[in-house]
Amino acid sequence: MKFDGIIFDLDGTMWNSTEGVCATWNQVLESYPEITYRITADMLYATMGLPMDEIGRRLFPDCDAEKQAELLKKCGDLENEYLSKHGGILYPDLEKTLAKLSEKYKLFVVSNCQNGYIESFFEAHGTGKYFTDIECFENTGLSKGENNKLVIERNGLKNAVYVGDTQGDADSAAVAGIPFIYASYGFGNVKKYDYSIEKFSDLLDIL
């Protein structure tokens, strides 16, 4: 396969930041006595791969759109601050695999996240040096598939591939007209894909 660029999802594909996200979001919710429940890992897993506005609707269904946006902003800001210092759980052999892939391919990240989230992954783990470009939902307001298209266009890619772990990731690859590699160790279940990996380092065997 002669790819010229690899576009990665982040959550469930390169790291698991759920513990830090739960802790920071629940810290924010302590300031909202009208919200009596707390965010759990299972609640977050159920929203993985969704755009931020949809996450707000699912996690805070009793709040209006304005309050949902307010909560997402405060949670996202604290989350970024925490993760940039403490990081998340990287999947095994992540950096070694990225280093090897970056010798041959341009690497990218496209995620349905807030501004600063991908950067927190870079800052905490020193991984930014392997990537050429990034894009996220909050920056453009676009779907992951449309953001894939943006990254492909502005980097002049002719034959890109997307690596992710959810059906939304698979759909985003289809929208962009590129192959999809399913990270089966992640958070989602995908039935249709071009290639599948059981661990991150399997990318070296495929690519």
In the CATH scheme, what is the code of domain 5-16+89-206? 3.40.50.1000
Domain with CATH 1.10.150 in the chain: 18-86
For domain 18-86, the question of CATH label 1.20.1630 is answered with no
Looking only at the bridges linking them, the beta strands covering 89-90 and 5-8 are unpaired
Domain with CATH 3.40.50.1000 in the chain: 5-16+89-206
At position 3, the amino acid (one-letter code) is F
Per-position pLDDT tens, the chain of length 207? 689 999 999 999 999 999 999 999 999 999 999 999 999 999 999 888 788 899 999 999 999 999 999 999 999 999 999 999 999 999 999 999 999 999 999 999 999 999 999 999 999 999 999 999 999 999 999 999 999 999 999 999 999 999 999 999 999 999 999 999 999 999 999 999 999 999 999 999 999
Sheet with 195-197: strands ordered across:
133-136, 106-111, 5-8, 160-164, 180-183, 195-197
